[in-house]
Each structure stands twice: as structure tokens, then as C-alpha cells.
Amino acid sequence: MRQRALVGRIASRGRVDHALSELRRLEQLGTPGEAIAVCEALARHWAQGSQLLRSIVMCKHLAWLEPGHTRTQAFIATLYARYPGSASEEGDGRVLDDLELLLPEREDSVAVPLFSMLSQEAFVALVDAVEVRHQGVGLPMMREGDMGASMFFLVEGKADVLRMLEGRGAPAQAVGEGGVFGELTLIAEGPRRASVIPSTPSVFLELSRARLSALAEKHPLVERVVRGFCRKRAADQMLRAHAIFSSLRLAQRRSLSREFELCHARAGEALLTAGQKGEGLYLLLRGRCTPYGVREGGQEIPLAVLREGDVFGEISLLLDTPVTATVRADVDSVLLRLSRPAFERHIATQPDLREALTRLASERMQSTARLLSAR
């Protein structure tokens, strides 16, 4: 009866930090058995109440209180894992198709589909792989420009996303409970694109690239789902924020975002080659690329540098002509690519998008002509 009342009191507060404080008090009183029982009850309560991230924090504490404890993780897997047992480990296109449909438009609880698109066995393994982080107010969880190799899930609290480099200014974007950030560095080496600083005491879950790689050896579905999740998030965010795609309705934007594939380019690699047929539209997620116009005689002239958020490749697709400029990656870069067939399907039904890309193409051709004629 006492344990039930304690669980009810802690659960009514709805706070992980309060729960952990109460559990530590029980441990200090020399009642580890009671602490385990309360922790397990809270994990189940929060899982059944659609508060998966809080439940996972309790599972992590349970594993510390009682090494080898797995029954609670297995119970939660039956609630959230989409595929029973490990039957889907070989997987097929259906898994990532399902992921596309389950990812919500809003940020609320956006982490849940990432966990739920797994088999029960893989779900338990992923819970074991994440680590709990606590961060105080004003102490960066990650810093813009630092090399990163992990993604974070905000369990509770609030944090500001700040971007200062390359003259992008410092307006803050808030991340709330259930928010995800840092995911791009999980699948591609590179510096962080923003700083994330808690504005209230916050609790996070962290999944590192090293732990993901180790996990993927036994559960390859986990890595496929994480990569699909990151690609979908990147495409959704880019299309939602980009002026070129502002005319699209929600359904159109979500349909288009499914068509983009994530690709990487090494420094010096050519993404487009002048004179060849263009096979895709590119959105630059991270890195830097330079287009080169070609004068008669083959001399290359560098044009305006392409930075994060820039679109290129549209001229050849719109005019059905060879590429007018060679585009090379200046540094290792990450991009979203829309194939020519997908581009043609969407452009045919979205005249406002065609018009926006046509204006961009016209401005670029005029700028290139001026630069080439001036030298």
C-alpha cells in the first residue's frame, strides 16, 4: 500500500528528476528492494501513459539498481515495438514506408516512431544503448562548430537552439519535450550546426554513433530505421523552412519529402558536371560546394559559393538541357537529392514550385553570363 501511494504521488508530479530524487532517498534509507519496485512501477505507468522517454529513463535506472533486469524493458517493447520478436530484422521496404507514415508533422513525441519501428528484441537493445544525461540551465548540451557523433532526445525540460556562425544571426528556436536534435552527426561526420542550451534543468537521452554501430551488428534494422528517420527529418525540416517550397501544402510537402534521398560527397567530388545531363535536384544540408562556369576553351570560373540550405541542379531539369556549371564539394558534405523522375512527377502537378525554381534558374543564368563575360 505504501509503495502504491508513493508511486501515485511521484507519477502525479510527472517529473523524472523528482522520481530519481525519491528513488535515491529510498536507496539511502537502505531499502533497495522498494526502490526497484517503485522504479519498475513508474516505468510501466509512464509507458502505458504514452510517456515513452520518461519510461526509458526509469528502465536505465532499473538496470543500475538491478543489473540484468530486462522484464520491464520487454514489457514496454510489447507496447511500442511495431514488429513482434525479431522477425523484421531482415526487413524490407515496408519498414521505412511505415516510418514515413508514422513520423508526425509536429515535433511533439517525434522520438516515439524511431523507437517503435523496431522488433521487440531490437527495441530492448536500443533502450540499453541510449544513455541518460542531465544538464543545468545555461550549460550547452552541444556547441555549434564542435565535432559531433551523437543525437539527443529531450525527455523533459526546454532548450534553445542558437546558430551564430557564418553570419546566420542568433535567433533562438525552442526545443520542447519529445524533441530531437543532433541526428545528422550520427550518420555523417562533421561539426554541429547549432548550439543547444537548456533554459530549464533538463534530462536527455543520448545515442552515440559508436553505440549505434555496435548495436547495428546484431540488429541491422536499427541502423536502417535511424538513417531513414534522419533523412525524413532533414527533408521535412528543409522543405518546411525553404522559401522555394513555401507554396506547397502540407500533403504536397510530405509527399515530396519522401522522394529525397540522403547522399554524401567527399571534398573535391563533382556532383554535377558541365555538359552532362543533370539527373537530380540537390539541397545542401551541410558542407560547402562551389559551381564553376566554363568559358570557351575549357577555362573554369568559380561562381557564387553554395552553402547550407542552397538548392542547385534545377536548370538542367527544367530546361532538359546539359548541366551549365560543374559543382564540386569544397569539403565533405551532406545533401538531399531528388531524382529526375521524381522531380518531373512533382513539378507537373505543382505550378507554383515550378515558377519559383524557374525564377531561381533565370537569376543564376543571368549572373553566370555576367561573370563569364566580365573576365
Residue 371 Cα distances to 293, 303, 319, angstroms: 9, 8, 21
DSSP state of 277: B
Q: Are residues 265 and 230 in the same domain?
A: no
Q: Are residues 278 and 224 in the same domain?
A: no
Do 98 and 31 share a structural domain? no
* pLDDT value of residue 172: 59
Mean pLDDT of 120-143: 92
Q: Which residue is listed with cell 527529418?
A: 233
- Supply the pLDDT for residue 156: 93
Q: What pLDDT does 99 receive?
A: 52
Q: Computed from CA positions of residues 36, 40, 46, 47, in that sequence, does the dihedral angle turn out positive or negative?
A: positive
CATH number of 299's domain? 2.60.120.10
Residue 86, in any domain of the structure: no
Q: Rounded to an integer, what distance in angstroms lies between the CA atom of residue 89 and that of residue 218?
A: 9
Instruction: Write out the residue range of the structural domain in which residue 7 sits.
Output: 2-80
Asked whether residue 281 falls in the same domain as residue 310, the answer is yes
Q: Kindly state whether residues 247 and 237 are assigned to the same domain.
A: no
Share of the chain above pLDDT 90, in %: 35
285 & 217 share domain = no
Which residues, 6 or more positions from 238, have their beta carbon under 8 angstroms from its beta carbon?
A: 283, 285, 309, 336
Do 193 and 181 lie in one domain? The reply is yes
**Counted domains in the chain:** 3
- Mean pLDDT of all residues belonging to the chain: 84
Q: At residue 309, does pLDDT exceed 80?
A: yes
Confidence at 109, pLDDT banded by 50, 70, 90: very low
pTM of the model: 0.80
What DSSP character marks residue 32? H
Residues 191 and 59 in one domain: no
In sequence order, the 6+-apart residues with CB closer than 8 A to the CB of 213 are: 223
User: pLDDT tens, 44-61?
Assistant: 999 998 899 999 999 999
